[in-house]
Amino acid sequence: MSAGLLLLLLLAPSAHADQPPVAPPPAAVEPPPWADAREATVGAARGGLDVCESLTFPLQLIPTVGTLVAMVVEWSCVPPTVFTVEHLQRFHGTLDGKVWKSLVALTLSKLWRDLWRIAGVVTLLTAVGGVGLGALVAAVATVVSVPGLAFYAPVAVGGLVTVGGLVLMVLRATRKAGADLIFEWTFNTLAGEFSSDAARVEARGTSPLAPPYNLAERTWLLATTAAGSEPPFRWVHLVPFAGPLVRGREKVATLRTSMRRLSSETLQEKDRTLLPMDVAIVGLCAAEAAMDVLAQAALTMGAAVFVLGTLSTLAWLQDPRQHRVAGAITAVTGLLSSSAAGLGIILLIGRELPVLLEPVVIPLTYGLFPPRGLSGAE
């Protein structure tokens, strides 16, 4: 009886015979090395600090005090930026920063940024103070009957505001370029090469930022890449009016390349639809370039009118009989110079708005969640 039952069990079809075999889990994809990993690391450091500047932008709208408070709050972005730098090198580079070396480099870079932002605040306060001083000098000169000085005061104010705008342009360029150089030199000096591929793989296992990426980590990687992707400097970028347009076109290409590489090689989302992101990139870069050109035009006009007003004053000093004509010219040129230069400064500040929006708008148009069917961690 038992032998017959055993025979029936052996001959009976299996309950799972008609089901396909379970496929083995996909093998982990080896992160590809990046030939420009060192340059990308500088961009990651820049991007992490820029993300915090974007988040603290509402504070920066409060003159002086808000800027100083924002500078303190932005130090909270240094630790996650350190992890981003280490993540990039461990997964796509060859340098072993051991966290503390990245921290030292980023701390020096942030201190440089803060120093030059304070210089910018001082410049703005000086320009505002100069306007008040010019009005005071004009009033005093009128009371004590020194008409030449009174007439030239508006021109002097226009010149001061123009110089303030030009100084802001230099400070902005020096601030970011200097911070990048400080980080790059410090990090490359302190961080040595991984002793072997095995050591790099082992370091990946202890990386605070590693796949599978959660929502916060994905958002941070997208934001820092968007904020830190800048085209390499070329001298043509300094050419008035044309330079910002050339740089804007190059920035579009740089951003698109960086975001696509992050998508395909880090997040491993090769089938993502990127058209909305591309449209956002073009719009933001075009707005930044346009305001840059307009700011340069306004400051140039302010400087030209300032020179005209100065020459008019000198001409009047040579011929006091032209008192009324020269006085009218200096008053008008002073007003025009101050207005043009003031508009230039407003445009310089407004130019930062598209830059501040990059780490917000670009990740949102890319998509904070992985496409359906992809985890972004495989």
Match 């929502």 to its residue by tokens.
215
CA distances from 126 to 101, 133, 271, 334 (A): 38, 10, 53, 18
How many other C-beta atoms are found inside a 10 Å radius of the C-beta of residue 358? 26
pLDDT tens digits along 75-103: 999 999 999 999 999 999 889 878 899 99
187 vs 272, which has greater pLDDT? 187
**Type and span of the H or E element at 96:** strand 95-96
pLDDT tens digits along 258-305: 999 999 999 988 888 899 999 999 999 999 999 999 999 999 998 888
Report d(CA 260, CA 294) in Å as an integer.
31
> How much is the pTM?
0.80
pLDDT the model gives residue 27: 46
CB-based contacts of 63, cutoff 8 Å, min separation 6: 124
pLDDT the model gives residue 165: 81
pLDDT the model gives residue 50: 94
**Per-residue confidence at 25, pLDDT binned at 50, 70, 90?**
very low
Report d(CA 259, CA 229) in Å as an integer.
9
pLDDT the model gives residue 88: 93
Report d(CA 91, CA 267) in Å as an integer.
12
pLDDT the model gives residue 128: 55
* Cis ω for the linkage preceding 212 (within 30 of 0): yes
Q: Which residues of 98-199 form beta strands (DSSP E)? A: 192-193
pLDDT tens digits along 332-350: 877 888 888 889 888 988 8
Report d(CA 365, CA 304) in Å as an integer.
43
**Per-residue confidence at 366, pLDDT binned at 50, 70, 90?**
very high
Pick the closest to residue 255 from 281, 232, 273, 280 (CA basis). 281
C-alpha count within 13 angstroms, C-beta hemisphere, residue 281: 26
pLDDT the model gives residue 374: 52
Report d(CA 258, CA 271) in Å as an integer.
16
Per the prediction, the chain carries an average pLDDT of: 81
Average pLDDT over residues 98-127: 82
Say whether pLDDT at 11 is over 50: no
pLDDT the model gives residue 1: 45
Say whether pLDDT at 378 is over 50: no
How large is the greatest C-alpha to C-alpha distance in the chain, in angstroms? 137
